[in-house]
Structure 1
Amino acid sequence: MRHRLRDPVTGLLFVLPMLVLFLIFKIFPTLGAAGMSLTNWNIGGEWSFIGADNYTRLVNDPNFWSSLRATLVYTVIYVPLVMAVSLGTALLLNSIVFMRGLFRGMLFLPYVTSFVFAGIIWRWIFEFDGLVNGVLAKLDLGPVGFMERAELVLPALAVVSCWKGFGYSMLILLAGLKAIPGSYLEAAKVDGAGPWQRFRGITLPLLKPALFFVLVIETIASFQVFDTIYVMTGGGPAKASYTLIYGIFERGFRFWEFGYAATWGMVLFAIVLVVSLIQRRFIGKENT
């Protein structure tokens, strides 16, 4: 019995520190938010149990539905964009032999920069007298109010977030490309397969587990976008970039309605969970 228990107990001891941190910073706060969503908790710490009243209020809140719509539109724009950029740069780095480490570091650099710093720089780039409108003016196509037009603000924010965050997904996909045996590609090349045929028939199928992982983490990141919006638009114009996370921030730290903010958070948690399960069911079941 002692011999049979030794390996499981040893493994548990190794993972115990991370398990404790996960419980303290993930599970317990989630359970606390679930309980808080059933109260009218305020900034003074005073609260009373109100049951499902916050959820009833949320269903009838036009701000919630507009923020959900903005979040979904942003997700639809951002996720395909960052997936394409990450895969393209990973394929490019995988084909580079000379100074590969330098190029990898340069492409990863935006990921480690501050969201606030990136937002300030990109706000200047998108302004009427900024870099993009300067180029458009030279082509007689501008200026364009990217931050002032409701139909353009979410695509502009998606570009900024993509520039800021694609580096991590790029490294994940690059690692997946490195794991593909070179003999497969060489054999296909000998058989006369072109670059596109090798990519479609060998590289892409073997890269599916990494692609699925990137899809899940980038989808979750798109639902949690906040920093860029807070710095660049403040939810505007006319709440066109008023996402769910920004709504949670405003309810909790501007109106001090912590119970109602927790309700928004629990609904966001449920949405992300459902979307992740759908992705696994229809896209990544055979790749996990």
Structure 2
Amino acid sequence: MTYQRTAVTRPTWRQRARDPGWGLIFVLPMLVLFVIFRFVPSLGAVGMSFTDYRLSGDFSFIGVENYSRLINDDLFFDSLRVTLLYAVMYVPLTLVVSLGTATMLHHVVRGRGLFRGLLFLPYVTSFVMAGIIWIWMYQSDGLINGLLDGVGLGPVPFLTGSQTMVLGSLAVVSVWKSFGYSMLILLAGLKNIPEDVMEAATLDGAGPWAKFRRITLPLLRPVIFFVLVIETIAAFQVFDTIYVMTGGGPARASYGLVYMLYDQGFRFFDFGYAATIGVTLFVVVFVISLVQRYVLDRENT
């Protein structure tokens, strides 16, 4: 009886490079940085919220006193209302602009890279520079009011009028500044939609709007959910635009939660109370994200 030896083939370097262990090695430095500079400070903020930590470094454990103070603080609820109103304006407008520009870029044949770069350019612009430019544009003798004057609408108090006017004006600036990132994410999602599905819909007589509503939007639902989450987080963390353009005014019409956190921590040096605001802000955003996920999943079913 004879036995035939089976040759053992060693994996090539390409096959070894696909080992998940190698991927973990390459990700490890960023993971370590994330743990050190993100996760650990977040845990520290949670612990600090149960203390009366001050600038001197002295602190004592006070339990839930900061949270009780927060519940009874009218300024906190006013800031929360301002932040929610701003998010209601900013998030849908960003989604519409991002989805619209991504759809147009998806159908551009020539110069797609050029248009994509031009539309993404505001995202890499400094918030301070963008705020200064838009302050000039919003002034009574600025560009926008100059155009409105030309058609007889008169000067509009974009940054000094009602709360809705001020927050709407700030939301427009933030959308102009930030929509490019969400546009690229949605553009990647559009490229992943199979072409044969669109061709089959065309053969069935579906028009552009029917294909967009019946095919594009349902297949983009996971991407849209991701965009909604990141833009909601951005809306609740808005600070730079408010700090540069209004300083929380007029009469605290744009005084959001992060601005309140900034004041408590770096103006009054009440770091324990500032950490409490930050933890509460995280909980609010987390709950809103869960609601968004539930609504999208329910529509999917």
TM-score range, shorter chain: over 0.9
Question: Structure 1 stretches (4+) deviating beyond 6 angstroms?
Answer: none
SS at match of 2:289: helix
Alignment of 1:47-86 (within 5 A): 47-86=59-98
Instruction: Check conservation: 1:209, 1:284, Cα contact below 8 A.
Output: no
Q: 2:54 aligns with which of 42, 56, 74?
A: 42
C-alpha displacement of 1:75: 0.5
1:232 aligns with 2:245: yes
C-alpha displacement of 1:16: 2.5
Q: 2:165 aligns with which of 148, 152, 155?
A: 152
Q: 2:34 aligns with which of 22, 26, 38?
A: 22
Deviations 1:44-86 (A, max 9, x none): 1111111111111111111101100000000001000000000
1:190 aligns with 2:203: yes
Match of 2:256 in 1: 243
Q: 1:264 aligns with which of 258, 268, 277?
A: 277
The letter for the 2-side match of 1:31 is L
Q: 1:94 aligns with which of 95, 103, 106?
A: 106
Identity %: 64
| Separation in 2, partners of 1:151, 1:11 | 49
Q: CA RMSD in A?
A: 1.5
C-alpha displacement of 1:212: 1.0
| Separation in 2, partners of 1:84, 1:26 | 31
More deviation in 187-196 or 232-241? 187-196
| Separation in 2, partners of 1:256, 1:284 | 43
Instruction: Give 5+ residue unaligned stretches, structure 2.
Output: 1-18
C-alpha displacement of 1:141: 0.9
Instruction: Check conservation: 2:248, 2:255, Cα contact below 8 A.
Output: yes
SS at match of 2:224: helix
Match of 2:9 in 1: none
Instruction: Check conservation: 2:119, 2:180, Cα contact below 8 A.
Output: yes
SS at match of 2:55: coil
1:277 aligns with 2:299: no
| Separation in 1, partners of 2:79, 2:251 | 11
Match of 1:116 in 2: 128
C-alpha displacement of 1:285: 7.7
| Separation in 2, partners of 1:286, 1:178 | 23
| Separation in 2, partners of 1:151, 1:13 | 50
Match of 1:3 in 2: none
Instruction: Check conservation: 1:212, 1:284, Cα contact below 8 A.
Output: no
C-alpha displacement of 1:119: 0.5
The letter for the 2-side match of 1:129 is D
Larger Rg: 2
| Separation in 2, partners of 1:251, 1:144 | 33
Instruction: Give 5+ residue unaligned stretches, structure 1.
Output: 1-6
| Separation in 1, partners of 2:217, 2:21 | 40
C-alpha displacement of 1:231: 0.2
